[in-house]
Structure 1
Amino acid sequence: MPAPVCLIENDENGRLCVRKEAKDILDEINEPVVVVSVVGLYRTGKSYLMNHLAGQQSGFALGSTIESKTKGIWMWCVPHPNKEGHTLVLLDTEGLGDVAKVNINGCVYVVELAEHIKIRSTEAADDEEEEEDSEFVRFFPSFIWVVRDFTLDLEIDGKKVTDDDYLEFALNLRKGVSKKIRDYNLPGECIKRYFPSRKCFVFPFPANSHQDMTRLEILQDQDLAQQFLEVTGHFCDYMFVNSDVKRLKGGHIVTGRLLGPLVEIYVDTISSGEVPCLDNAVVVLANLENQTAVQEALKVYQGGMEEVRHILTEFSCFLCEHQTLYTAEAVSMCYTDLLEENKMASERKCRDLLKNLSSDMSKRLQDGEYSQSGGYELYCRDRDAIVEQYRREPNKGIRAEAVLEEFLKEREPEANSILCMDNKLTENEKQMNSKFILEEKENAALLKQKLKEEEEKRIESEKMMETEKVRHEDRVKQMQESFNKEKEQQQQEMDRAIESKLKEREEMLKKGFKDEAYNLKEEIKKLKDEKERSHGGGGIFKDYVMPFLCPLVETVPNLLMQRSMMKSLKKGLKC
């Protein structure tokens, strides 16, 4: 992606909308994404930092006037410099406080996050709302505070402190119950409550002169302050190492292909005046992924059918039936799986039955009992007896006649050979000589060789089926391991949330905020209860996606097996 594009903008009616160009770019990204967004007042250098994260000197527009240069939310997708196979998604937002913007509703979203994002879709009681409020800590990103043009000494009560200590000092709560104190404490409480991971960077002036400050985009590194460059390097390194892959509720990793619909869901919900819900977003994304998987499975099937369409004209009915079967699979996967299992079970039972019934006949053939005058009549009598006995057997299933037809068709070359031999023996019975006997032995040897080759082909087909079975079991095992990993990540999220709340409570106790400490104790208890309840669960993604993916995984081995059997049959007919 050579340059940033606008992701979210205001349309002519003032409603938020997602740009199709940006959505198409996200749809092409199948890798996990690490999302980094910047928010702050206009003309404070946000775009400059984002350009450095992208590894470029320019890209996001920089401005030097009192008007905000960035309008809407702009996106730049670049390969992650530290994590191979990941994409870094940089989001540069429109600066707050632009004098040209009269709509200040966006500021409310910064302070009242809990009023504009919900975890669950159902209406919650007061105690459930408090529990949901504590769950935000599990889903919100890391909070990094960047302070620009910092010239003061990092000292508190005469002691040197770090950038992070400076942030925590700024978030300290004041004691009291007046409205002024409550208004002062509100931003700090929100930041501590919703962002468990917090980091601070203080930047000195980037340049010495006002003229250089207005043209940072074209200045070289040697023209900037050395201390400013060092802090910028530390900032970028921290972002690359500590920014996690974006995940949904339950620990499911988000790719670019998932991020695009997720953005559309939130933007459409906010534009309609409703409250975005994390649960609903996960369900909608799962349904979208299911539809995409069905379309991809249908494409795989159609490609496979195109390859085998011209093998034999007599298989036209077979192809038509399977076309209908696999088209129906896209609508009702469960029904198709049951039908396929029933058909395979019927075929196995019928083939085993015919094998047992024809064992005596095969032995007679090997012993040469049909290689004599009148042998064809004896052969037909034995074959008809097998068919009659086969049809008397009950509960053979839907493939009974089809398997019988295949059995008789496989015996046609054998019957023709016996008939030919019988005719020759009958016509020349009185004139048989050693040369004739030798020729008949050769024919019998050829017939035996052909039967042997057919048996070898059957064994090869069974080996191929066993191989595909092992591959299928490996796929199911890999999927199970993936879901177990999701479950472990979910437990880790809960542990981090509990640890953050424990530290916060300890800090409140030390500073004498007993009421806040008691509230944090209740939140910690609820988080621990939630951890116990979710210990045996599999996550939203497993509940919605796993029931669909298991039958879908079974479809591909069956299709590959049919293609392999068709190729083997085509090769046998050519011979």
Structure 2
Amino acid sequence: MSRELKFRLRNLQKPQWFIRFSANGLDVNENVLNELRRLESHIVVFTVTGSLRTGKSWILNQLAECGVENGFGVADGQTAVTSGIWILCREHPILNCVVVFLDTEGLHDPFKTNTEQEDNRLSTLSFLLSDKFIFNAKDKFDNNDLGKIGFIAMISKKLQQREAQESFPEFILLLRDVSRVKVKGKVVEPKEYLENILESAGPDDCRFSPKWCVREYCKKRACFTLTQPTEFEDLSELGETDHPELKARFLEDKEKFKNYLFRNSDIKRLNNGSPYTTSAFCEYTRALVATVEDGAIPNVSSLQQRIAEEENQRVWKETTELFRNSIRDDEKTNLYGSPTERFKVLQKEGIERIQNQMIPQSQQHMSEIVEEFKVFSEEEYKKLSTEKCREFLTCHLETCFNMIEDNCYMAPNAKEKFERDVRKVKEKYDKKENLGPEVCYEKVNVWNEKEREIRKKMKELELVDLRYELHSAETANKEEKDHLDQRIKRMEAEVNEQKLEMARKAQELEQKRNNEKLELEQERRRNEFEFEMKTIELQKQLRQQEDKMHDREVRINEKEAALTKAVEEIKESQTMQMQRESDAKVVSSLVDGISLIGAAAITALGNLGDDSE
């Protein structure tokens, strides 16, 4: 890794929050994104997730070789230390790239509200951002743990099979505090243990269950065990990665796991195999967060394609601008010696920048982009060289031309004096350090262009010489004088014709420059129009999303109103039922009372009858 990249990496050496929940929803740390963009490097992403208080942050510190002062926060107790997703970067010990470690907050925190929804969103983000997704489990991997990776099934249902297989990272199960694993009472390798769990049938083993999705879509899988690192219950007391209390067996297991991660890792790639740059990773992160925040599952392939196109346009624009400005600065200051060598250096730097930062669709696509940049750089240098040559000659020849206008050559042998001054300019032009024949593409052509103008000026000076000849031949015979007059008239006609031709050429040149300005203005307006159209389209999509959210809220409100109404109806029905039951009891009591009164009356009447007898 270059010294410059190490220097840019310094601000990411300590952990800081990357993605978290706020009052407005999911937030991304812009400072982290800016630091990642500055790296201009390839990356590989390791993520650790799992239940609350299972030592995720501590094992990440072990992998990243972090101590107490510069590692992820760890603590004892049931209170979560990590909130959201945190990030820390290190140099890759083997590949020429940067390792991004992502630490996620513990799943199913009992002290949080709306835990399942937040867990699913954070887990979806960390899963789709990862190259190696490490699930940290204590002692064993059971149905309870499978339920915590239910978000994988949720993602799988929204993606095509091929897209899921290309987008899903390697799934690594890390069993903590165990030295051996068994299947049906038999000690087996950790990988066999994982495969047996994924293959075993159960009540929840159906299509798009977490077990099925990991088995079908995470084609790369691995499993490792880590024995208990120490007798201490509080791992936060250990801190340093080389603490003397760590068991030798744990250190051996950790080294085996660490070697696997780094030796079997590759730089992060798009689904088409093209490598990610840190800038593309930042845009991918931002787009993922926006999509997940809306409650949707991203179409990873289309998202990657859009980001790749935007990144390629950005890199092309920045590279061409940098090349153009560098060439112009070099021509002005000549800080680097010969512009020819400097041109080759800058062209090579531009090609390396394109190869390192662009995301090509294929190797052929990259070759086409490189050839396009070579053509651009040569045309740009040709244009600049022509401008410099023309600027130099215009500046120095203008003095000679002005002397003609000021009648400074109005003496015998005027043409010879003018030719002498022009030769001096030509000598300076040939010796000009920045405009040597091996440097300027158009040096000869520019001189030839100016030479035509010089010849036209010489015609005027020939006329001056002829006039002096005429003046000296006034004593000669009339025939010779008439001959000279005719020559003068012809020369005057040629000079006037040349002046008209020069005026016409100057007008054409001015018209050409105006047309170029007009084309540039039209292109600027087209770009502004395209930008406005894209803005309008984005605003339209935003309004559509807002309308969908509004419709969703309306439907939810309607359902809540219907539910409230149903509850009120049930309560009213229950009240009426209770009233009816109460009325029935009263009627029943009245009937019983009347029956008793009737029986008493009958008895009394019977007694009266007996008395009358």
Alignment correspondent of 1:408: 452
Q: Which moved more, 1:162-171 or 1:182-191?
A: 182-191
Q: Determine the C-alpha separation between the residues in 1 that align with 2:177 and 2:205.
A: 29
1:118/1:277 contact within 8 Å kept: no
TM-score (norm 1): 0.51
Residue 11 of structure 1 deviates from its aligned partner by: 1.6
Alignment correspondent of 1:440: none
Residue 49 of structure 1 deviates from its aligned partner by: 1.7
Residue 228 of structure 1 deviates from its aligned partner by: 0.8
Larger C-alpha radius of gyration, 1 or 2?
A: 2
2:227/2:249 contact within 8 Å kept: yes
TM-score (norm 2): 0.48
Q: Identify which of 189, 192, 198 aligns with 1:165.
A: 192
Q: Identify which of 171, 174, 188 aligns with 1:143.
A: 171
Q: Identify which of 11, 17, 20 aligns with 2:22.
A: 11
Which structure 1 residue ranges, 5 or more long, are not aligned?
A: 120-128, 312-332, 348-372, 378-400, 430-575
* CA deviations over 1:255-282 (Å, ceiling 9, x no partner): 2121111100100111122331221332
Aligned-partner SS, 2:58? helix
> Structure 1 residues 213, 411: closer, same or farther in 2, change over 3 A?
same
Residue 201 of structure 1 deviates from its aligned partner by: 0.8
Alignment correspondent of 1:286: 309
Alignment correspondent of 1:92: 103
Q: Identify which of 265, 290, 293 aligns with 2:287.
A: 265
Counterpart amino acid of 1:148? R
Q: Determine the C-alpha separation between the residues in 2 that align with 1:154 and 1:184.
A: 27
Q: Identify which of 249, 272, 290 aligns with 1:227.
A: 249
> Structure 1 residues 309, 80: closer, same or farther in 2, change over 3 A?
closer
Aligned-partner SS, 1:75? strand
> Structure 1 residues 422, 143: closer, same or farther in 2, change over 3 A?
farther
Q: Determine the C-alpha separation between the residues in 1 that align with 2:272 and 2:456.
A: 60
Alignment correspondent of 2:42: 32
> Does 2:91 match 1:79?
yes
> Does 2:50 match 1:63?
no
Counterpart amino acid of 1:140? F
Alignment correspondent of 1:20: 30
Residue 309 of structure 1 deviates from its aligned partner by: 7.1
> Structure 1 residues 428, 41: closer, same or farther in 2, change over 3 A?
farther
Q: Determine the C-alpha separation between the residues in 2 that align with 1:78 and 1:55.
A: 9
Residue 254 of structure 1 deviates from its aligned partner by: 0.6
Alignment correspondent of 1:470: none
Q: Determine the C-alpha separation between the residues in 2 that align with 1:310 and 1:118.
A: 61
Q: Determine the C-alpha separation between the residues in 2 that align with 1:219 and 1:307.
A: 50
> Structure 1 residues 61, 82: closer, same or farther in 2, change over 3 A?
same
Q: Determine the C-alpha separation between the residues in 2 that align with 1:61 and 1:229.
A: 21
Counterpart amino acid of 1:291? R
What's the C-alpha RMSD, in Å, of the aligned pairs?
4.2
Q: How does 1:184-333 map to 2 (within 5 A)?
A: 186-210=209-233, 213-218=235-240, 220-278=242-300, 279-305=302-328
Number of residues paired by the alignment? 335
1:117/1:276 contact within 8 Å kept: no
1:154/1:160 contact within 8 Å kept: yes
* CA deviations over 1:298-356 (Å, ceiling 9, x no partner): 34324544565799xxxxxxxxxxxxxxxxxxxxx99x98xx89x99xx9xxxxxxxxx
> Structure 1 residues 220, 283: closer, same or farther in 2, change over 3 A?
closer
Aligned-partner SS, 1:92? strand
Which structure 2 residue ranges, 5 or more long, are not aligned?
A: 1-11, 125-148, 335-371, 387-411, 417-444, 474-613
Residue 98 of structure 1 deviates from its aligned partner by: 1.7
Counterpart amino acid of 2:173? W
Aligned-partner SS, 2:199? coil
Q: Determine the C-alpha separation between the residues in 2 that align with 1:208 and 1:184.
A: 42
Aligned-partner SS, 2:39? coil
Q: How does 1:447-486 map to 2 (within 5 A)?
A: none
Residue 57 of structure 1 deviates from its aligned partner by: 2.6
Q: Determine the C-alpha separation between the residues in 2 that align with 1:56 and 1:428.
A: 100
1:67/1:99 contact within 8 Å kept: no
Counterpart amino acid of 1:76? L
2:156/2:213 contact within 8 Å kept: no
Aligned-partner SS, 1:6? strand
> Structure 1 residues 418, 250: closer, same or farther in 2, change over 3 A?
farther
Aligned-partner SS, 2:86? strand
> Structure 1 residues 57, 374: closer, same or farther in 2, change over 3 A?
closer
Q: Determine the C-alpha separation between the residues in 1 that align with 2:307 and 2:446.
A: 44
Residue 134 of structure 1 deviates from its aligned partner by: 3.9
Residue 54 of structure 1 deviates from its aligned partner by: 1.5
Residue 154 of structure 1 deviates from its aligned partner by: 3.2
Q: Identify which of 156, 163, 167 aligns with 2:183.
A: 156
> Structure 1 residues 141, 292: closer, same or farther in 2, change over 3 A?
same
1:9/1:16 contact within 8 Å kept: yes
Q: Determine the C-alpha separation between the residues in 1 that align with 2:321 and 2:192.
A: 57
Q: Determine the C-alpha separation between the residues in 2 that align with 1:274 and 1:170.
A: 30
Alignment correspondent of 2:62: 52
Q: Determine the C-alpha separation between the residues in 1 that align with 2:79 and 2:280.
A: 34
Residue 409 of structure 1 deviates from its aligned partner by: 3.2
* CA deviations over 1:500-545 (Å, ceiling 9, x no partner): xxxxxxxxxxxxxxxxxxxxxxxxxxxxxxxxxxxxxxxxxxxxxx
> Structure 1 residues 229, 308: closer, same or farther in 2, change over 3 A?
closer
Residue 78 of structure 1 deviates from its aligned partner by: 1.2
> Structure 1 residues 4, 415: closer, same or farther in 2, change over 3 A?
farther
Q: Determine the C-alpha separation between the residues in 2 that align with 1:418 and 1:118.
A: 90
Identity %: 26
Residue 185 of structure 1 deviates from its aligned partner by: 9.1
* CA deviations over 1:392-442 (Å, ceiling 9, x no partner): xxxxxxxxx99985341364798799899999999999xxxxxxxxxxxxx
Q: How does 1:96-107 map to 2 (within 5 A)?
A: 96-103=107-114, 104-107=116-119
Q: Determine the C-alpha separation between the residues in 1 that align with 2:326 and 2:157.
A: 43
